[in-house]
Structure 1
Amino acid sequence: MHTQPIENSQPLMERAKLSQFYQTHKYRFAVFSRFLAAILGGYVFTAVFTSLLSIILPLKKSDAVLLSISLTILVYSCVFIWVFAIKSLKRIWITILLTTTACALCIAILKDWL
């Protein structure tokens, strides 16, 4: 039988350790990124969406603001849950950035900032 010398098995062990290290940190980064998307991205989206909602609701200004602020808890909770329900991190970040930008653009158009 042919056996490998001990020197040749060292790089294989090193590669296995590096692969395990990479897989562990890849998972941790994915979870950290999801928390960032849920907490920061969800907060920014909710703030912009609430502002847009308070502008477009056909109510008295004070009532529109109160209703939109009351709905922030629901919107933020839905975004938080949605972030952990979607598989693709790329899709999560792109969706949050695009919807936040679209809402901000609508606010800018409605307020005649553009």
Structure 2
Amino acid sequence: MTNKNEPAEGVSLVYQCKLNLSTRTVDYLAGLLRSHLKAIRSPWRSLSAGRIAVLVLAMLRHDQRLRDLAGGNDVPESTLRRWRDEMINLLAARAPRLGRALRKITRQGREVVLIDGT
């Protein structure tokens, strides 16, 4: 018996899942992407910034397989991977650095434990 990740009889199956997202979250990510696209003077994307944001959130929140999302949205798997990495970099650039975050927590009188897996 072989295990193949191909649809039975060549018929594609697209499934949906409920993804609880606030409009504010999607708008924030879409806005980040729009600003980035304007800065790099990218002429267009095959999907709107809002749709890209939802797809990236589905990948990150539910560990959705790229192949599943790609097939259901008519986007190449490599494009989804690039969008995911791009959005992670945009979010990371806006995140506070570790030193600043630790100083803020210390000023508030709270304690922090850092566990380094190396």
TM-score, normalised with respect to structure 2: 0.30
Kindly indicate whether structure 1 or structure 2 has the higher relative contact order, using CA contacts under 8 Å at least 6 residues apart.
1
Q: Which has the larger radius of gyration?
A: 1
What TM-score, normalized by structure 1, do the two folds share? 0.31
